[in-house]
Amino acid sequence: MEIERKWVLDSPPSGFEEHRSQRFEQGYLAIDPAGAEVRVRRKDGAKSVMTVKTGSGLVRGEEEWEIANFDALWPLTAGRRVLKTRYFIPLDGETVELDVYEGELEGLLTAEIEFADEASAQAFVAPDWLGRDVTEDKRYGNRVLAVEGLPS
């Protein structure tokens, strides 16, 4: 299970570029309107994984494994892709994953924090710089962004 909250930022925090980062190429092979998705992701042009997620919102099912055939699967994701650089920023014992989007989503900044349990996620008080909580707003899910683009 994945327990995660998500925010949309107006601007990145000062010094974010000094933190460790990874560039992601992410495409969706299958998207079920009920919430299931199958995606492929390549990190920094090297490590590739396939992920199956179910559900939406704060708590979701997630299974992930490494794959060797990213280049063969990538063309199948045309029209359903997200390109972004993720910065890993420590915050009060947690890690903020700040995503800076490229291409058609350029200008969008989101941040996610994965929590050990629902109680921790609910109790977390976000600093102002994290912006607006969009955990339950499906328009900001990467799968929706990949297909529909920026929310209006």
Active site residues: 28
Closest alpha carbon to 29 in 72, 62, 59, 86? 72
Would you say the C-alpha torsion 43, 46, 47, 53 has a positive or negative sign? Answer: positive
Contacts of 18 (CB under 8 A, 6+ apart): none
How many other β-carbons are positioned within 10 Å of the β-carbon of residue 44? 11
Q: Three-state DSSP class for 87?
A: strand
